[in-house]
Structure formats: C-alpha cells, structure tokens
Amino acid sequence: MPLFGVFVLALLLVACGRVPAREAVPSAQEAWVARVNDEGITREEWEHALALDRAMSALAGQPVPEAEAVLQRLVNERLVLQQARSRPLPALTEAEARLRALLTRWNVSEAQLEATLSAHGLRREEVLAAVQRLLLVEQTLQQLGDAQAAERWLLEQRRQARISLFVSFSTPQPRPSQARAPLSATPLVLAAPSPTPVQTPLVLALQSATPLPTTPTPAPVNPAPDFTLRDVDGREVSLSDFRGQVVVLNFWASWCPSCRAEAQDFGAFARAYRARNVVVVGVNLREDTETVRAFAAANGMDYPLLLDVDGSVAQRYGVVGIPTTVFIDPIGEMRARHVGILNAQQLADYVQPLLEGTSVRPRGSSG
C-alpha cells in the first residue's frame, strides 16, 4: 500500500491572531481563521477538521491532536492544493481503498468506524472527501522527487506564502526548573499547543518513517537566535544590541490584516514602556523600505523596524503565519511566544513578569 511518505503536515508551529473589530480584518460573517495567499480557511472548516482528526485519533489509538496542529495541517494542505489546481481529485474508489487499508492497519471494523464518526457528528462521505484531498497532496509532492526535494519545496512555499491568521495561540517557554505555565485559549482552542508538532492519524498513518523537519525541542535554556538585519534607514542592527533589555520581537507585514489591526497598540506600548527598559523590535517580512516606512508613520510605530527581505530570520524563529511575537528577557532567553494579534494590555501582561524576573503567565491571550 502506498504511504504518505513525504506529506507529514505537523511542521512548524504557526502564528495566529484573533479577529479584532478594525478595518481590513475579515468580518464575523466570513469567520476566517486563516488566510493562505488569496484563499481563506473558515472557522467551519477548522471545526470540521478538528472533529475529523479527533475521530481518527480515537480509531488509531493515538493522542488527540491539538487545535493549532490541525490548523497547521490545513495551511499546509492549502498550500499544496494551490499548486495542484489543474489536477483532478483521485477517484472515490481510490479513497475507499486507502480508507479500508487504514482500518485494517488499525484493526478497526466498519461498525466501529461508523460509531466513532457518529459520535463526532461526521459521515463516512466526509472522511472519504478528506482522503481524496490528501491523496492529491501526496501525488503532487511525489512529483517533486524524493522526500528531501519535497521537504525543501514545502518549506520554501511556507516561507514565501502570505499566511495570516485570526485565532490566537500562546506558548510560554519553560525555564529549566519550572513547569509550563497555564495557557489561555479561545473557546475553539481545546488543547494548548505543545512545543512538539503533533502528527494526526488520518494524515499520516499514511506516512513513512522519514518525516519532514519539525521545530526542534527547546533546550533547557532557550537563547533567542542572534541575527543582523538592516533597518529602514539602512543601518545594520543586531538582536544582541538590545541585550540587557526586555525585547518584544514582532514579525509582521503590512498586507497582514491582523498585523494592521495590532500596529497602533504596538506603537502605544513601545512608547509607554520605553523608560522601563523594554524595547519593541519589528521585523518586517519581505517588503520594501518605503512601504514599511509609510505604514509605520501612519500607525505610530516609532521603534526599531528591521527588514527581513528573504524571510530567513523568520524561518530561524519558526514563523509560519503572522503576526508572531517572541518575548525575550534581558539575558537573551526566549520566555514566551504569541501567535496572533495582541493589544497593549496583553503586551503588558507578557512583559511584566520579565521585568519582575518571574515566569510568564499571560492573561487573556486571546484578547
């Protein structure tokens, strides 16, 4: 039976943001949770994928996938399918055959399948439709050659894509002697994201033993990777230049709706906390100087703005969707990561423990 050898969709942890009531953000009627280039992923799609992956997890005897991992899978799937627009979906009979093979592998009967799907509000037809899409993804990636070629291609697609997200995930980084702090979450985020990507059974009980790279497990101490970029005035600026200060490192772009929505809050926060040994550093992804300068002036972003013209720094920080914000303490250790939109109060909630030298326990991370 062919396997989903190169299609392991639990890759890098992503960035998401809650939908605020500001211009250029999808309306409540649209209910997007993400946008991948020019296509949206709706809240309904995400909820359906969560139910499907949880049902398949139960059948496969695997841990329940986390909400963020499922959203990552949908983003990855959408990126590949955007490259396969002209290709037809595999036949339903092929999806049936793959599903039966999975049930055999899991030692699950048709009756057990139907009962589990019913318990999750799903129908067999919906599972087959998902398998058809995944088969098309598999075929598309296999055309690229071996697993390494597909890996490079998918990572490059994620680096270049315009991925903005409208739900929130918060990940404090535990210090060596501390347990992970509790996470806040939106109602849909039923499980807090872990530092290690989760592989969902439907996707990939269909997989070989050669997964794509994942975000490495943090070391006992989490030093923020140093980097040097040019600012909007052409000067070279390094992250290490800010050692001794609390650094709020924000990855953004002007085309990202959630980034536009949080821009004024970041400017206000930077001004309010400047005298308290806190610096906001904005890292813009792949936009030109004049675009960044004009957007910053219009939104009061009077703090260091650096140009990540090829996305390499964002890649080092595991940024997939934006906005993503990393909180770094005065000795250069990453203490928290927030994927999605932030307001001034949330920024203060993240930063205050770093000023006090305590563990980060963000309050209301969804806004």
pLDDT at 358: 55
- Averaged over 319-348, what is the pLDDT? 92
Q: Is the pLDDT higher at 330 or at 13?
A: 330
Give the residue among 242, 217, 212 at the shortest CA–CA distance from 329.
242
CA 58 to chain centre: 24
Give the residue among 360, 329, 358, 325 at the shortest CA–CA distance from 344.
325
pLDDT band at 359 (very low <50, low <70, confident <90, very high): low
pLDDT at 71: 87
Q: Is the pLDDT higher at 145 or at 246?
A: 246
Sheet holding 324-328, edge to edge: 169-172, 334-339, 324-328, 246-252, 278-285, 305-308, 228-231, 236-238
pLDDT at 18: 28
Provide the 8-state DSSP code for 89: P
Q: Which of 189-198, 221-230, 332-341 has the lowest mean pLDDT?
A: 189-198
Q: Is the pLDDT higher at 297 or at 318?
A: 297
pLDDT at 174 over 90: no
pLDDT at 215 over 60: no
Residue reference for tokens 């000067």: 235
pLDDT at 283: 98
Give the residue among 35, 12, 141 at the shortest CA–CA distance from 80.
141
Establish whether domains 32-204 and 228-356 are of one fold.
Answer: no
pLDDT at 342 over 50: yes
Q: What is the pTM of this model?
A: 0.70
Provide the 8-state DSSP code for 193: P
Give the residue among 135, 117, 104 at the shortest CA–CA distance from 52.
117
pLDDT at 321: 87
Q: How far apart are CA 217 and CA 22, in angstroms?
A: 36
Q: How far is the CA of 304 from the CAs of 148, 244, 278, 359, in angstroms?
A: 37, 16, 12, 26
pLDDT band at 72 (very low <50, low <70, confident <90, very high): confident
pLDDT at 5 over 60: no
In the chain, % of residues over pLDDT 70: 75
pLDDT at 356: 82
Q: What tens digit of pLDDT does each residue of 78-110 get? A: 999 999 988 999 999 999 999 999 999 999 999
Return the half-sphere exposure (C-beta side, CA atoms, 13 A cut-off) of residue 97: 9
Integer Rg of the chain from CA: 21
Q: How far apart are CA 275 and CA 315, in angstroms?
A: 31
- Averaged over 273-286, what is the pLDDT? 96
26 residue type, one letter: P
Based on the residue annotation, tell me whether 256 is a catalytic residue of this protein.
no
Give domain 228-356's CATH number out of 3.40.50.720, 3.40.30.10, 3.40.640.10, 1.20.1250.20: 3.40.30.10
Extract the tokens encoding 107. Answer: 């030692």
Host H or E run for residue 49: helix 43-60
Both ends of the chain: CA-CA distance in Å? 47
- CB-based contacts of 55: which residues, under 8 Å, 6+ apart? 116, 117, 119, 120, 122, 127
| Domain residue spans of the chain | 32-204, 228-356
Provide the 8-state DSSP code for 258: H
Average pLDDT, the chain: 79
CATH number of 32-204: 1.10.4030.10
Provide the 8-state DSSP code for 363: S
Q: How far apart are CA 270 and CA 252, in angstroms?
A: 16
pLDDT at 330 over 90: yes
Provide the 8-state DSSP code for 311: S
Q: How far apart are CA 268 and CA 344, in angstroms?
A: 7
pLDDT at 345: 93
Q: What is the SS3 string spanning 164-186?
A: EECCCEEEECCCCCCCCCCCCCC
Provide the 8-state DSSP code for 241: G
**Residue in 11, 75, 122, 259 annotated catalytic:** 259
pLDDT at 190: 22
- Averaged over 6-33, what is the pLDDT? 40
* Cross-strand bridge partners of residue 306: 231, 283
pLDDT at 221: 65
- Averaged over 289-299, what is the pLDDT? 97
Provide the 8-state DSSP code for 37: T
